[in-house]
Amino acid sequence: MDTIHSCTYELLRRQGMTTIFGNPGSNELPFLKDFPEDFTYILGLHEGVVVGIADGYAQATGSPAFVNLHSAAGTGNAMGALANAWNSHTPLVITAGQQTREMIGVEALLTNREATLLPKPLVKWSYEPASAKEVPHAVSRAIHMSKLGAPGPVYLSIPYSDWDQPADPQSHWLYDRAVANMGLPNEAAFSQLVECLANAKSPALILGPDVDATNANHQAVALAEKLKAPVWAAPSAPRCPFPTDHACFQGLLPAGIASIAERLEGHDVVLVIGAPVFRYHQYDPGHYLPDGARLFQITCDKEEAARAPMGNALVGDVKIALDRLVERVPDSERAMPEPRHVPPPLSDTVGPLPPEAVFDIINDVAPEDAIYLNESTSTTPMLWERLQMSSPGSYYFAAAGGLGFAMAAAVGVQMAKPERQVIAMIGDGSANYSISSLWTAAQYNIPVIFIILNNETYGALRWFSNVLGVSRVPGIDIPNIDFCGLAKGYGVQAFKATSSQEFRDHLNASLNMKSPVLIEVHTIPPAN
């Protein structure tokens, strides 16, 4: 007779979810017993790292990843990473072990009190099955829920006493279910958008992560070329939706109200595709749009559509919408936009390097289809200025700004894309949030190149202190961290670069290795 345990594993097997990311506690051991040989378990040493690795893996594959956490404490440790996954529209099925049903009521140690409330509002659905027989159905529902509409994380709390219970004989109906979005946009609203674009004197495109997530980058290029329109990446972009070396590309939009309006001056129709309107950050008051501009948004996320402060929104499948726009929008007779200015590479130097020099060397040495993960937040504008990213799926960033993303997610992305080289560029402050990711990379021989830009300070905070006009703030400087020593302790080869040539040599050597490598390069901190 099938048990809840065997039924759930068969369901995961049929859905192609044979990789489990986790950090187990006692409540999770009954689920993991007799672990099937055709499954793979990826251990992270901290739950935030576990979710970060799964986040990268799910984003890179485009399919849900299965995560197993330890009750309330493990879920709590993972909440920062969960915020990033929520804002990235990452499909994750997160399970957490609950106490045995017999002792939930007395709140025995390791009981997850009000388990369904704990991960909210960072999940699409949160549930604890009412009985053991309901567990396979709840897992099936969670898998499909994670993919439908705007993808995102879901959460299940499962009592550990359920796994040995007999399964409902009809659970087999769950195994091969397929649930898919249709996602066709409203025809009347879509026709209005096509007409506005066709009649626009100076349209502008702003592209977001869902363009890249749906592999619609080529359609975005085709639309830009038909419209002869400038293209910006949406503010704080967690992915790169458009080739940065294309003539239409104008760079990364700033994350301020007035600053965005300034960039869009002179454009009468603004089309935002696959991004919120807008992901603002620093306080920069002003008009949302230039006078006379009309804004349209295409998004898979009804919440993003509803909360936008201006414009008309169409909710549907981003790739389908782009396909239809390319078919229906007429070719413009306008001249192509003026290409953006790309600064020339810096000369080689010694001592602490300008961050620009680091990106110049990476751009020169890395493979054309390299995948970059960025968590050197103070240098992000420089990265977007200098790195050429022309292939889909080439860039990942923490969508909620939660530190600890890049080092962990790089491991997951490299697992998902073994044919491409993953390079993670991480600030010294950010690296400490998920440093144990190095252990996972070493143990499973996942050949990520980790580049630590060490300026001995929280560079983004130093920049913000100037923006906010605050001085003599404690807790900004973080000197005396030996990242090479830490890496070697986790089993990762490590090198220190003190000049442009040393960094170039170490990066070239790392590209020929088939194991994880860390390069620590000292960089110039932001000016006070």
Give the residue numbers annotated as catalytic, written as ranges. 25-26, 28, 47, 70, 281, 401
List, in order, residues 6 or more apart from 210 with CB less than 8 Å away: 89, 241, 273, 274, 275, 299, 300, 301, 318
Nearest-5° Cα angle at 358, 465 to 444: 100
Burial status of residue 208 (CB atoms within 10 A of its CB: 0-12, 13-18, 19 or more): buried
Q: How many whole angstroms separate alpha carbon 291 and alpha carbon 388? A: 33
Nearest-5° Cα angle at 392, 389 to 398: 75
> How long a stretch of residues is the chain?
528
Cβ distance 526 to 462 under 8 Å?
yes
Q: How many whole angstroms separate alpha carbon 70 and alpha carbon 157? A: 10
Residue that has been written with the tokens 């020339």 in this structure: 344
List, in order, residues 6 or more apart from 402 with CB less than 8 Å away: 80, 81, 83, 84
Best CA proximity match to 312, nearest among 260, 288, 267, 277 = 277
Q: Is 292 helix (H, G, I), strand (E, B) or coil?
A: coil
Cβ distance 308 to 277 under 8 Å?
yes
Distances (CA, A) of 239 to 174, 213, 310, 399: 34, 8, 24, 9
Strand partners, 3: 166
Tell me, rounded to whole angstroms, the distance of Cα 516 from its chain centroid: 21
Q: Is the peptide bond before 516 cis (omega within 30 degrees of 0)?
A: no
217's tokens: 């980058």
Question: Rounded to the nearest 5°, which phi and psi values hold at 270?
Answer: -120, 120
In single-letter form, the type of residue at position 180 comes to A
Burial status of residue 355 (CB atoms within 10 A of its CB: 0-12, 13-18, 19 or more): buried
387's tokens: 């790195």
Best CA proximity match to 174, nearest among 138, 209, 149 = 138
Residue that has been written with the tokens 């920069």 in this structure: 284
User: Dihedral through CA 232, CA 233, CA 235, CA 239, nearest 10?
Assistant: 180
Q: How many whole angstroms separate alpha carbon 491 and alpha carbon 488? A: 5
Q: How many whole angstroms separate alpha carbon 178 and alpha carbon 197? A: 36
